[in-house]
Chains A and B, each alone.
Chain A
């Protein structure tokens, strides 16, 4: 009996061992190395030198594009996560209703999320192309416009297109997270609320929102991380041009490392990004958990 108990004690650890090894080798170990490198001198060719304190961080913060890139990153995360959460929530409400073709609509909804981001961004590039872009072609053929419009006439507009593409590919994830939450709500709650005279908005704010909150929280935290770290959309659509004005932190640090060959500041930036992300996700999780506990 004791032997069986003894076996059971170590058995879970053996089961966990492959995952722990994988996470250690491919996640924890690289994070430790990046932190160490961020305090080291690194040559243009990538040769690691000695300890140089906070010099890489000072160089990173003093880069001419640093402020622009941080602002862009903030707008990128806020707009993509915020708008895709709002749109995803609305679409989930629609998809939760019974209507003909609901299954097909739900299947189509998954496409933008299931397709590679590089392909998505390339397709968006073709859509908004001035010379033979699909958007101009459609509008010209429908007679809505008389001559082609340059949809990328300034870097501010380019950045808006990048955000639009980001929202398009993120909405399905939110939709399905919320939908799973909606489907677990007992129909009887709505029925009794209706009997008590509650309208659409009352039911939305008093029943739906509180009950899908856990699903929304998960999707928001994951989206903050995914969107902050998103590389392919910005890199494929503009490569940060002109002069880093459409870069986010992730694309900028890549350009810094492999185009400008300023590897030290690039690594420092990646650590700064990691810390920002941990703080944002941590604060959000704590706030959500505290509210849950209060309830």
Chain B
């Protein structure tokens, strides 16, 4: 008897594995549209806001479904470390999400996987986005994604250190070198004057800070790749000279921006280029730093430029959907609900980001007047050329070039090789 029971149990275990998926698939109610949504985890509150109790005791999914009967959300909050793996795997398995929140979009658009924004975004909402943000998501005159939020970078200086040493905040590269030397002399190496992050995580940002401050860039005036321009080589050589002169953190290839922010919060670093959330980050770390933001120093006679980072929301095609119009309408309703100032203001301010729509500005500035200064910084920002198909290659290429240069390679040779790959 025992043997029969155990045999039956084994058989039922095997069968349950096979049938489990089918049962799940039938659970959905007929007639409902279900949208698969992937949201990136921006911070500790993201999950709670979308799925927990972070939205006035409720959450985004519950509130959306209550307000939009007939539309169900199958929403996942995925960490930035895993989101590319998750999305690519799903695409490879013909199971792309309906709505995706991520930073890049060009590969998906170029491979015909995305819906044009005009297919699903209500016109009044589209008009509400900052036009300069929308321009960053255009390929061949078509808008493929909308911005969900942004952040801008500026130079944060430790006021107490500058007052102690008796120097002004640097605006040019020459002044920066003088300030670094003065800080080194005063603190005898106990404080790093300048932070550099050339890591695999964000080495492209370091590249941008220096080349944009020297009139260079990733692309030329015609929008063609120009990573090995004279300005770029001069700029990266300047950055490398700061490291060689001992003005920076010792291991720029492995010390990430978060390591630098930790040092800044501990008073060990005098200057760091960081996003607008740095004061919150320092406070969370228990730091009490008297800090000020200034423009990122540029070469003599060249304009300072801040780096804007923007993430996006995009919708994937789904040829298997029965009623395409109803699906597009559902995606539009999702966007309307997300960008409704009543919801969106809470979302943006919760994680300390900058908004992407005009309708949120007034409420955000009223809640925190410091937002206004950052909105000005944002207006003058340059963005990475993420609409170009080769951006992944360029991003990893400039990081590899910097890291090879850190181990003794010539940056001119490195950037020449990358440029040859791009145009060849």
Chain A residues in the interface with B (C-beta under 8 A) = 11, 14-15, 17-18, 21-22, 25, 42-48, 130-132, 150, 152-155, 158, 238-245, 255, 257-261, 263
Contact = CB atoms under 8 A, between A and B. Distances in A.
B17 A21 contact: yes
B310 interface: no
Nearest to A20: B14
Contact of A47 (B85, B92, B396, B407): B92
A241 B199 contact: yes
B343 interface: no
Nearest to B414: A243
Contacts of B266: 131-132
B403 interface: yes
A130 B403 contact: no
A131 B92 contact: no
A259 B14 CA distance: 38
Interface stretch (B31-39, B246-254, B282-290, B376-384): B246-254
Chief secondary structure at chain B's binding surface: helix
A47 B92 CA distance: 5
Contacts of A15: 6-7, 10
Contacts of B400: 243-244
Given A18-B10, A48-B92, A131 B268 contact: yes
Instruction: Give the top 6 A-B pairs by smallest Cβ distance, nearest first.
Output: A242-B403, A46-B88, A243-B403, A242-B253, A46-B92, A44-B107
B10 A17 contact: yes
Contacts of A45: 88, 91, 107-108, 111, 113
Nearest to B16: A18
B373 interface: no
A241 B14 contact: no
A46 B92 CA distance: 5
A240 B251 contact: no
Interface string B1-40: 0010011001101100110000000000000000000000
Given A22-B17, A255-B200, A260-B396, 5 more contacts: A21-B17, A25-B17, A45-B108, A153-B251, A261-B107
> Which residue, of A45, A257, A263, has the highest number of chain B Cβ atoms within 10 A?
A45
Interface of B: 3, 6-7, 10-11, 13-14, 17-18, 84-85, 87-89, 91-92, 107-108, 111, 113, 199-201, 250-251, 253-254, 263, 266, 268, 389, 392-393, 396, 399-400, 403-404, 406-407
Contacts of A258: 84-85, 88
Contacts of B404: 242-243
Nearest to B90: A46
B396 A155 contact: no
A150 B392 contact: no
A242 B10 CA distance: 51
B276 to A, nearest CB: 25
Contacts of B392: 44, 259-261
A257 B14 CA distance: 34
B250 A17 contact: no
A248 to B, nearest CB: 15
17 contacts: A11-B3, A14-B10, A15-B7, A18-B13, A18-B14, A45-B107, A45-B111, A48-B92, A131-B268, A152-B250, A152-B251, A239-B201, A241-B199, A241-B200, A241-B254, A243-B399, A260-B392
Contact of B199 (A25, A48, A239): A239
Nearest to A130: B250
A260 B318 CA distance: 27
A150 B246 CA distance: 13
Contacts of B84: 258
Contacts of A257: 88
A153 B17 contact: no
B285 to A, nearest CB: 13
Contacts of A43: 107, 111
A14 B87 CA distance: 37
A42 B14 CA distance: 34
Nearest to A256: B396
Contacts of A21: 14, 17-18
B207 to A, nearest CB: 14
Nearest to B417: A64
Nearest to A247: B200
Contact of A11 (B7, B17, B87): B7
A259 B396 contact: yes
B201 to A, nearest CB: 7
Contacts of A46: 87-89, 91-92
A10 B192 CA distance: 73
B253 A14 contact: no
Contacts of B250: 130, 150, 152-153
A132 B285 CA distance: 15
Nearest to B91: A46
Contacts of A18: 10, 13-14, 17
Contacts of A261: 107, 392-393
B87 to A, nearest CB: 8
Given A45-B107, A47-B113, A152-B254, A241 B91 contact: no
A238 to B, nearest CB: 6
B396 to A, nearest CB: 5
Nearest to B106: A44
Nearest to A44: B107
B10 A241 contact: no
Contact of B407 (A22, A240, A242, A263): A242
A194 B108 CA distance: 74
A25 B21 CA distance: 13
A283 B92 CA distance: 35
Contacts of B403: 241-243, 245
A15 B7 CA distance: 7
Contacts of B399: 243
